[in-house]
Structure 1
Amino acid sequence: MSTDPGDTIRYLTGAEVEEVSRGLRIVDLVRDTLLAFRQGTAGLTPEAALRWTTPEGAAARSLILPGWSGTGYGCKIINSSLGNHERGVARAAGLIVLADPETAHPSCVMEGARVSALRTAGVSLAAVQAVRGLASVTSVAFLGCGRQARAHQELLRAECPGIQRVLLYDRDPASRELLAEEWRRAAPGIEVQVVARASQAVAGAELTIAATTTTEPYVELDWLPEGATFVNVSLDDACESLLMGCDHLFVDSWDLVSGDDHRLLGRLSRSGRVTAPGSAAPNGGRAVDAELPGLVAGDYTRIIGARDRVVINPFGMGVHDIALADVIRARAVAAGVGRLLPR
């Protein structure tokens, strides 16, 4: 609960959010939030999406994701344009607005891109932990070498001490070379390989993180080696063959996935070819195996074999942003970080 004066709003810049978030156990926080969601002590409401085409012809969007966790209430507003790369600016930027739980007045506004990147990486790793265990990961491939890849890199280095090899692919050679240098500086004992084709990266790793801006699926089932895990962070990288043919398919929220008509898995749901967790698979189709809250709670009892291919499709639950932002707000209040703005 906020201890700021009731006639002010605390504002945190991106640099302040980064400062205050240092040392947070992001994967543990995400896991705890998934468990809270399952128990009904955290939740979300349907997101809103505004989409348009920029004057230069790029696809742009503004997403609003409301959520609550414990006594933290608020929403994430995250905007992006696929044309930003050519303009030399970040693809996405946003804000998180937290509300006072008693008055419902906005009490804190913070730069949202850092929170969004951290919670996204945290969800990926919490899911991998539930599927394979983070200590067992020795090789990782990245499809896309931007901000999301860097957030995943940050958590992977902290949570996966067994990593020996990293493979990097990005359509932009400069981006993959830059991330490669960052990996080499941060972890000189790890072999870092830049590859020219996405298929090379996927084929050479037991864990692939797809964090691109693609709107066209391209990763086929036969790209994945046996026993591999594919985290479909950017949602449009996995082809139908991979989504339909993998041995285990997990989503964070079936309601969010099935209600979406832009991503492939949502379209497969709408066509009746993919059904909800716990339902019977349709003829020629499949059912999603489980949602992440149940997976991390240990509800999923089907054995995940050493040779099974696993796909994790985290659509993005705003509840994680709110849970993380509320912890950051509390830390900022305690440390006196941020600027108090008059209402």
Structure 2
Amino acid sequence: MSLEPLLYLSEADVTKLCQSIDPLAIVEDTFCRVAQGVAGVGAEAALRWAAPDGTAARSLVLPATSGNTHGCKVINSCLGNLDRGLPRAHGLIVLHDDATAAPTCVMEGGVISALRTAAVSAVSVRALRDLAAVRSIAVLGCGRQAATHLTLLTPLCANLRRILAFDLNVERAKRFADSHSRQTGIHVADDAEAAVRGADLVIAVTTTTTPYAQLDWLQPGATFLNVSLDDATEALLLRSDHLIVDDWNLVRNDHHRLLGQLARTGAVIGPTKANTTYGRRVDADLATVVSGRYERPVHPHHRVVINPFGMGVHDIAIAAEVQAAAARSGMGMLLPR
């Protein structure tokens, strides 16, 4: 028995192929599979170092499976990339054959990672909120993730009237606003607080490691997407009306992000733990929410925090659809083994 050649899909290939798939449907279906116990993630591995310019760099390895689809995402990032004019994150996704376990496809992973992240955000907010009620959005951080989030979310918000963007790099924020000038009322805010106050939906996609977003910045009924994981302060995490995570084990085992630190001290406990007088209990995971099993009502005045740590299973599911689209179109390069 001989193995087929290995398929390689470049960034350009992946970008084009992603236009033929529905990432929201894939993410929603994958969350339902997680809730059913037929999809999930393996133990993650992390390698961290300081780049020659002193900025933080890291490589994460995320194995995952969904039904008969198995694979691994390697996503690397360096905070110094933004000053180099490069995306913060780059990566690869490897898909494996169900029968032989042999790798079948290697593709650029940065595009899918950004798409998956924004799709998870969109699916999560849609499951918890009436998006027709979203009239204003605040975007904190003006990189690729911000652009991808707006691309997926704004078409779902039929009554959107205003977008406020903030970035510590003022020129980057201005370029971002200019590049999205066709979207409804996008303006650059003077600071993060000015962007957040009055927003119905806040999208935090920064590189910060220092929490800064305060609970009282959020108006009643606002949703805070803590995508970059360290923007929300302890008070915002602990005192929100609903605190939702994607995977509690990933959060609990993390030693770098605030919510993981709070979990280790007992200030935050998992969604399945019995009620206790100690610690703020996570209300639910996103698989429960998206599959319609979340029983607590989300009232219009409730403040909601969604903390999507990042489940590689969604990247693998999207990558599988990209591979299938490549097979139909004949795109990609075949590499000998």
Which deviations, in whole Å up to 9, do the C-alpha atoms of 1:279-335 show, x marking residues without a partner? 245546310000000011121111111111000000000000000000000000110
How far the C-alpha of 1:123 sits from its partner, in A, is: 0.5
Checking the alignment, whether the CA contact within 8 Å between 2:266 and 2:278 is kept in structure 1 is no
- What secondary structure, in the 3-state scheme, does the structure 2 residue paired with 1:214 have? coil
Q: Quick check: 1:238 aligned with 2:224? A: no
Tell me the residue number matched to 1:103: 100
How far the C-alpha of 1:19 sits from its partner, in A, is: 0.4
- What secondary structure, in the 3-state scheme, does the structure 1 residue paired with 2:154 have? helix
Sequence identity, in percent?
A: 52
Checking the alignment, whether the CA contact within 8 Å between 2:39 and 2:67 is kept in structure 1 is yes
How far the C-alpha of 1:24 sits from its partner, in A, is: 2.2
Which deviations, in whole Å up to 9, do the C-alpha atoms of 1:241-268 show, x marking residues without a partner? 1001101000000010011111000000
- What secondary structure, in the 3-state scheme, does the structure 2 residue paired with 1:175 have? helix
Q: Quick check: 1:38 aligned with 2:32? A: no
Q: Quick check: 1:278 aligned with 2:269? A: no
Give the alignment partner of residue 146 of structure 2, picking from 138, 142, 149. 149
Q: Taking structure 1 as reference, are residues 24 and 157 closer, same or farther at Cα in structure 2, changes over 3 Å only?
A: farther
**How far apart, CA to CA, are the structure 1 residues paired with 2:131 and 2:23?**
14
**How far apart, CA to CA, are the structure 1 residues paired with 2:73 and 2:133?**
33
Checking the alignment, whether the CA contact within 8 Å between 1:143 and 1:210 is kept in structure 2 is yes
**How far apart, CA to CA, are the structure 2 residues paired with 1:295 and 1:85?**
34
Q: Taking structure 1 as reference, are residues 29 and 136 closer, same or farther at Cα in structure 2, changes over 3 Å only?
A: farther
Q: Taking structure 1 as reference, are residues 23 and 8 closer, same or farther at Cα in structure 2, changes over 3 Å only?
A: closer
Give the alignment partner of residue 256 of structure 1, picking from 247, 250, 263. 250
Give the alignment partner of residue 267 of structure 1, picking from 248, 261, 268. 261
Q: Quick check: 1:89 aligned with 2:83? A: no
**How far apart, CA to CA, are the structure 1 residues paired with 2:132 and 2:319?**
28
How far the C-alpha of 1:222 sits from its partner, in A, is: 0.6
Q: Quick check: 1:125 aligned with 2:122? A: yes
Checking the alignment, whether the CA contact within 8 Å between 2:21 and 2:321 is kept in structure 1 is no
Give the alignment partner of residue 68 of structure 2, picking from 58, 67, 71. 71
**How far apart, CA to CA, are the structure 1 residues paired with 2:326 and 2:3?**
16
Tell me the residue number matched to 2:194: 200
Give the alignment partner of residue 174 of structure 2, picking from 177, 197, 204. 177
Q: Quick check: 1:224 aligned with 2:218? A: yes
Checking the alignment, whether the CA contact within 8 Å between 1:167 and 1:204 is kept in structure 2 is no
Checking the alignment, whether the CA contact within 8 Å between 2:73 and 2:316 is kept in structure 1 is yes
Checking the alignment, whether the CA contact within 8 Å between 1:125 and 1:134 is kept in structure 2 is no
Q: RMSD across aligned C-alpha pairs, in angstroms? A: 1.3
**How far apart, CA to CA, are the structure 2 residues paired with 1:176 and 1:273?**
35
Tell me the residue number matched to 2:161: 164
Which deviations, in whole Å up to 9, do the C-alpha atoms of 1:166-194 show, x marking residues without a partner? 01000111221122122213x3xx11121
Tell me the residue number matched to 2:301: 307
- What secondary structure, in the 3-state scheme, does the structure 1 residue paired with 2:228 have? coil
Tell me the residue number matched to 1:51: 48
Structure 1 stretch 69-78 or stretch 83-92: which is displaced more? 83-92
Which deviations, in whole Å up to 9, do the C-alpha atoms of 1:90-133 show, x marking residues without a partner? 21100001111111111101100000000100110111011103
Tell me the residue number matched to 1:247: 241
Q: Taking structure 1 as reference, are residues 200 and 297 closer, same or farther at Cα in structure 2, changes over 3 Å only?
A: same
Structure 2, unmatched stretches of 5+, are none
**How far apart, CA to CA, are the structure 1 residues paired with 2:297 and 2:331?**
47
Structure 1, unmatched stretches of 5+, are none
Scaled by the length of structure 1, the TM-score of the pair is: 0.95
Which deviations, in whole Å up to 9, do the C-alpha atoms of 1:131-170 show, x marking residues without a partner? 1033332211100010100110110133323221101000
Tell me the residue number matched to 1:113: 110
